[in-house]
């Protein structure tokens, strides 16, 4: 009698359990020593973006997937050459910092190496502005006597080297706070050289040795001149130093915008003409190209430093929506090995 009652109660309970099993999603079980057992075919299959309906609720609920986390992207600044027009780089850095965009790598050519070294040493835009206003042109002008003598330059460049080394507290390039490179040209082979170690001031001096203005710089057994001959805006070298997102700053003159009068202006105009074709190749690999509207500002116009900084800031702010959009897109994409 007891067994009959037990059977009578057990049968409906078993049927109810079987019915409930067919109505809801079954949990995945893992038997001892075996693999996970999949749910029965009658279970509701999970679909991307949809939460299976609960019992008695026929309406599925959309489950919006969370946005992928933004990855860290190594930002590189490629600062071009242009003598006194290089003050515009400070305005660019100011606008970037104001929008939370900080460089991880800095590479500079000529005037770009001057600003780049000071920035890589840990000076923010405010400090760079103070240094720019305090800079005395005479302090970096050490005339070679006799003028136009046997040496191919009227300025030695030693004063510029000393100025930079003092500003970076005598630290070599590898001891600066940011990875930094200065581009120069090998006078014998015409090949570009990237200084990433050693005397910071000497590397900047070599990168800034405009032929006919500064004397060539001998380091070891090689002699170097201005890097603008081979890389007016060093985008390629910035990429080689590991930058994944490159902001290039082109401050070279537009040949139709400036009438060459003085000997320095003739030299700078010649550099500009030579560099335009090279820039077309270099700049195409940059993610963003900033070209401050410097108009006919001459390469020796140190009196216009404030205008140059304002032009750099203005040009950068105008491109800020584009910079942020491209940077966000890069942060959302998987990392790609830098070639």
Q: Mark whether 208 is an active-site residue.
A: no
Which is catalytic among the residues 110, 113, 207, 208?
110
Q: Which two tokens stand for residue 174?
A: 């590898």
Provide the 10 A C-beta neighbour count for residue 161: 22
Tell me which DSSP letter residue 153 carries: -
Residue 327 to residue 146: CA distance in whole angstroms: 52
Angle at alpha carbon of residue 264, lines to 258 and 266, rounded to 5°: 50
Which is catalytic among the residues 113, 226, 272, 287?
226
Q: Which of 96, 217, 75 is nearest to 156 (CA)?
A: 217
Residue with tokens 């038997």: 31
- Print the SS3 string covering 260-328: CCCHHHHHHHHHHHHHHHHHHHHHCCCCEEECCCCCCCCCCCHHHHHHHHHHHHHHHHHHHHHHHHHHH
| End-to-end Cα, the chain, rounded Å | 84
Q: Is the CB of residue 267 less than 8 Å from the CB of residue 228? A: no
Q: Mark whether 207 is an active-site residue.
A: no
Catalytic sites, residue numbers = 110, 226
């Amino acid at each position: 009698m007891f067994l009959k009652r037990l059977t009578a109660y057990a049968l409906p309970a078993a049927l109810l359990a079987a019915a409930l099993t067919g109505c809801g999603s079954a949990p995945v079980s893992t038997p001892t020593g075996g693999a996970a057992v999949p749910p029965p075919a009658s279970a509701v299959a999970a679909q991307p973006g949809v939460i299976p309906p609960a019992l008695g609720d026929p309406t599925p609920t959309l489950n919006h997937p969370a946005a992928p986390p933004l990855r860290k992207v190594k930002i590189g600044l490629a600062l071009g050459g242009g003598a006194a027009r290089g003050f515009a780089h400070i305005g660019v850095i100011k606008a970037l910092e104001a929008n939370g965009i900080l460089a991880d790598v800095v590479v500079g050519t000529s005037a770009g190496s001057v600003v780049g070294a000071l920035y890589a040493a840990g000076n923010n835009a405010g400090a760079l502005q103070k240094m720019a206003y305090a800079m005395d042109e005479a302090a970096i002008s050490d005339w070679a006597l006799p003028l136009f003598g046997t040496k191919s330059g009227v300025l030695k460049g030693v004063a510029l080297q000393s100025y930079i080394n003092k500003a970076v507290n005598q630290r070599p390039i590898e001891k600066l706070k940011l990875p930094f490179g200065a581009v120069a040209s090998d006078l014998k082979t015409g090949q570009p050289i990237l200084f990433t170690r050693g005397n910071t001031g000497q590397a900047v001096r070599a990168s800034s040795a405009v032929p006919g203005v500064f004397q060539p710089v001998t380091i070891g057994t090689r002699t170097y001149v201005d890097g603008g001959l081979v890389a007016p805006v060093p985008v390629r070298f910035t990429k080689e130093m590991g930058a994944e997102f490159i902001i290039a700053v082109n401050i070279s003159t537009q040949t139709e915008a400036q009438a060459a009068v003085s000997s320095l202006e003739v030299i700078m105009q010649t550099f500009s003409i030579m560099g335009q074709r090279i820039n077309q190749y270099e700049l195409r690999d940059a993610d963003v190209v900033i070209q401050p509207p410097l108009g006919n500002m001459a390469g020796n116009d140190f009196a216009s430093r404030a205008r140059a900084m304002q032009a750099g800031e203005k040009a950068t702010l105008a491109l800020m929506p584009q910079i942020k959009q491209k940077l966000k897109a890069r942060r959302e994409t998987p990392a790609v090995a830098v070639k």
